[in-house]
């Protein structure tokens, strides 16, 4: 699909990591990156009561878990407009970190899900309990509801928890499904919808299956994987991924195709980049895009993060829970 509507440029956006696999309270601020913890300016741990310290007070901390969630905050005419992107894996993980960061879920205009895997969805439970009855819109791909599993042997399979449409609608969320790109916030934010798969080395997860038409079928490409795109004036595209099952190179190239903008400012989120030749091929392709900031997060292996940092040391930065990227 070619761009049919211009993505409105914005002056800036703050992306705050609410859930990710890593936490580190000793990282300092760096440029537009505000770290949460003892060494940064993005916030600090609050005291909590305990029964074994001299003072009777310990220090609370943000929770890291195998999942992803981010707050996308556009600053428009002196006001903040907030979108929640994904929700992490545990029922109380996201709402707990929102409380620690003093962020209210009723300040979100809508929720966008990158895909239906449980490590990006199930934290909605805690948010729903906090909000009560709500008509907040939730944007997702129609395949979001699929029953899925990971097969590791002839008699071994892990069935992923499946989100319930009835339950999500039952608390009042308005489900908005779409395979095509869609614009939010008056044309300032673009959801990719289903991403074009054009890169030969990005082949998804070979042992991933979906229950379709009464049988388990191969589902390596996970077509519901979608990303979020913004255009910061004078700097280029900001691309936020959840897991990157579509392939981070596919996603970046599709974002450029949709918007007609070739300059890549920042790529943040899960790249689902594990091991093997795909790592070197992905690193080489991303280096050609020359992003100013590259933040490989959830489900990106240590080997892949190391390779990205080696190839693009000026751009690559680690992600941690509570980090705020002021772009």
The tens digit of pLDDT for each residue in 57-87 reads 999 999 999 999 999 999 888 888 999 999 9
Question: 1-15, 42-56, 100-114, 295-309: which range is least confident on average?
Answer: 1-15
Answer for the pair 157, 150: CB distance below 8 angstroms, yes or no: yes
pLDDT of 4: 53
Query: Concatenated DSSP letters for 125-165?
Result: HHHHHHH-S---EEEE-GGGG--EEEEEETTEEEEPP---H
- Is residue 162 classed exposed, middle or buried when 0-12, 13-18 and 19+ CB atoms within 10 A define those classes? middle
Burial profile 269-301: b = 16 or more Cβ within 10 angstroms, e = fewer: bbbbbeeeebbeebbebbeebebbbbbbbbbbe
107 confidence band (pLDDT: 50, 70, 90): very high
pLDDT of 1: 43
Dump strand ranges (E) for the chain.
13-19, 33-34, 47-49, 57-59, 69-76, 79-85, 108-112, 137-140, 148-153, 156-159, 174-177, 182-184, 189-191, 208-212, 215-218, 228-232, 236-241, 264-269, 293-296, 324-326
Average pLDDT, the chain: 96
Say whether pTM exceeds 0.85: yes
Beta bridge partners of residue 79, listed in sequence order: 76
pLDDT of 32: 96
127 confidence band (pLDDT: 50, 70, 90): very high
For residue 136, pLDDT over 60 is answered with yes
pLDDT of 78: 80
Answer for the pair 225, 196: CB distance below 8 angstroms, yes or no: no
For residue 141, pLDDT over 50 is answered with yes
Sheet containing strand 236-241, strands side by side: 182-184, 189-191, 228-232, 236-241, 264-269, 293-296
Nearest to 85 by CA among 26, 142, 8, 19: 19
Work out the angle at residue 27's Cα, subtended by the Cα atoms of residues 248 and 107, and round it to the nearest 5 degrees: 65
- In CATH, the architecture of 13-47+59-326 is 4-Layer Sandwich (3.60)
Average pLDDT over residues 34-61: 93
For the chain, the domains span: 13-47+59-326
């Amino acid at each position: 699909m070619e761009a049919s509507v211009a993505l409105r440029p914005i002056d800036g956006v703050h992306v705050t990591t609410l859930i990710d696999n890593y936490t580190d309270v000793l990282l300092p601020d760096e440029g537009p990156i505000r770290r949460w913890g003892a060494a940064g300016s993005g916030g600090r741990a609050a005291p909590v009561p305990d029964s074994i310290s001299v003072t009777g007070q310990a220090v609370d901390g943000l929770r890291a878990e195998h999942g992803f969630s981010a707050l996308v905050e556009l600053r428009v005419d002196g006001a903040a407009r907030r979108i929640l992107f994904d929700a992490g894996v545990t029922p109380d993980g996201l709402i707990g970190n929102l409380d620690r960061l003093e962020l209210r879920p009723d300040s979100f205009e809508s929720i966008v899900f990158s895909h239906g895997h449980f490590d990006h969805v199930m934290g909605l439970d805690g948010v729903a309990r906090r909000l009560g009855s709500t008509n907040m819109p939730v944007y997702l791909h129609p395949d979001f509801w699929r029953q899925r599993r990971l097969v590791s042997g002839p008699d071994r399979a892990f069935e992923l928890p499946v989100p319930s449409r009835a339950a999500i609608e039952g608390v009042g969320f308005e489900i908005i499904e779409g395979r095509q790109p869609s614009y939010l916030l008056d044309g300032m934010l673009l959801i990719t919808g289903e991403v074009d798969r054009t890169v030969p080395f990005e082949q998804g997860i070979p042992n991933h299956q979906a229950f379709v038409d009464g049988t388990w079928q191969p589902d390596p490409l996970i077509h519901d994987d979608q990303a979020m795109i913004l255009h910061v004036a004078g700097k280029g595209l900001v691309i936020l991924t959840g897991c990157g099952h579509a392939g981070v190179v596919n996603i970046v190239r599709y974002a450029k195709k949709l918007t007609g903008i070739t300059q890549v400012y920042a790529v943040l989120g899960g790249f689902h980049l594990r091991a093997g030749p795909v790592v070197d091929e992905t690193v080489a392709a991303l280096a050609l895009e020359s992003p100013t900031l590259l933040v490989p997060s959830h489900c990106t292996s240590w080997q892949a993060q190391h390779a990205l940092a080696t190839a693009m040391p000026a751009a690559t930065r680690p992600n941690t829970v509570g980090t705020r990227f002021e772009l």
